[in-house]
């Protein structure tokens, strides 16, 4: 199989969408001449022209709102927001308009827009560019929220997201863009409804998503050398959550650890843990546990940034604490 990067997989997904449907266009800050803040759209302006690869002013509320309007008018826009932190400037358009249109119109119309944004820390971009706010969007009815963590998902999630009649938020962790690996050609189909078992295990379930998946898999490798077999679940779809896959794993392993780069308070990890407690409490042989980011703005200094994040040693330590007694 040919090798590619997460960034290149996303770019190929954009190219495919633009070729398949003339209603698809890309808009956002620096997506055209600069090629995107993370080079995802590099070269697409030359290939598809200014009408379909549109640079916008530095006004998230303005261009996200314009994208929602274009979707309501019959287009299929892909709106790129530079970082999740900046997307907060467009929350009104996303939450009060796009997410509510289906309900407020009595099911007559929606806003089939895909809004992409980088999320997460690990690149020394400091507090205004590094937070993981996926749970803010996963909280909102009317949105579908995706977090591709693999090359296959990066390549395969965009087209089905564009087919959704309602708004889809697609989170790309900034540390994944340079990840390289093999990707089948043609790429496998990706469904947008189920979590994925990324590593089979028998004595512990680790539930995670996005940029924390590689860290969870690295931790599982360390744990395996110690005789602790960890099953790693990639949520992939943050709204609606596929709890059936998570619960099936927990009922097999009887222990669960949730890894989430969001802050601990009111986190997505808290929601997953609550659902496990509600639906599989009597299957547990140990208290639920989680590893989240420290409750601080993400620091700039590399050693402090790493200390604030759920890195593999923290995941391993939390998993060891759940080990079955001899």
The active-site residue out of 60, 80, 134, 305 is 60
The active-site residue out of 14, 129, 131, 173 is 129
Cα–Cα nearest to 72, from 168, 165, 170, 169: 165
Does residue 254 have an active-site annotation? no
Q: What does DSSP assign to residue 242?
A: -
SS3 146: strand
CB-count burial class (<10 Å; 0-12, 13-18, 19+) for 23: middle
- Cβ atoms of 289 and 276 within 8 Å: the answer is no
Rg (CA), the chain: 20
Does residue 221 have an active-site annotation? no
Whole-number Å distance between alpha carbons of 35 and 44: 8
- Cβ atoms of 290 and 257 within 8 Å: the answer is yes
Cα–Cα nearest to 217, from 316, 293, 143: 316
In the block, which residue shows the tokens 């495919």? 16
Catalytic residue annotation: 60, 129
């Amino acid at each position: 199989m040919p090798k590619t990067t997460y960034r290149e997989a996303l770019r190929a997904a954009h190219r495919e969408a633009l070729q398949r449907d003339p209603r698809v266009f890309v808009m956002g800050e620096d997506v055209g001449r600069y090629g995107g803040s993370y080079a995802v759209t590099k070269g697409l302006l030359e290939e598809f022209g200014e009408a379909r690869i549109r640079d916008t002013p530095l006004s998230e509320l303005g261009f996200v709102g314009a994208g929602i309007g274009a979707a309501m008018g019959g287009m299929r826009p892909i709106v790129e927001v530079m970082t999740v932190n900046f997307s907060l400037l467009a929350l009104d358009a996303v939450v009060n308009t796009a997410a509510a249109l289906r309900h407020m119109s009595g099911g007559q119309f929606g806003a089939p827009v895909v809004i992409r944004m980088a999320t997460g820390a690990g690149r020394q971009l400091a507090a205004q560019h590094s937070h993981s706010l996926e749970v803010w969007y996963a909280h909102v009815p009317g949105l579908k929220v995706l977090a591709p963590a693999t090359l296959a998902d990066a390549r395969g999630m965009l087209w089905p997201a564009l087919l959704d009649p309602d708004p889809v938020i697609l989170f790309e962790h900034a540390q994944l863009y340079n990840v390289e690996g093999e990707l089948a050609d043609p790429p496998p189909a990706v469904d947008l409804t189920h979590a994925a078992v990324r590593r089979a295990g028998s004595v512990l379930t680790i539930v995670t998503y996005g940029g924390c998946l590689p860290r969870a898999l690295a931790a599982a490798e360390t744990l395996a050398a110690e005789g602790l077999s960890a099953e790693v679940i990639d949520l992939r779809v943050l709204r609606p959550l596929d709890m059936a896959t998570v619960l099936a794993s927990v009922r097999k392993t009887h222990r669960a650890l949730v890894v989430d780069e969001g802050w601990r308070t009111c986190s997505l990890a808290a929601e997953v843990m609550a659902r496990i407690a509600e639906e599989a409490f009597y299957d547990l042989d140990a208290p639920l546990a989680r590893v989240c980011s420290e409750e601080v703005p993400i620091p700039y200094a590399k050693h402090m940034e790493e200390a604030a994040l759920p890195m593999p040693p923290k995941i391993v330590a939390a998993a060891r604490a759940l080990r079955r007694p001899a």
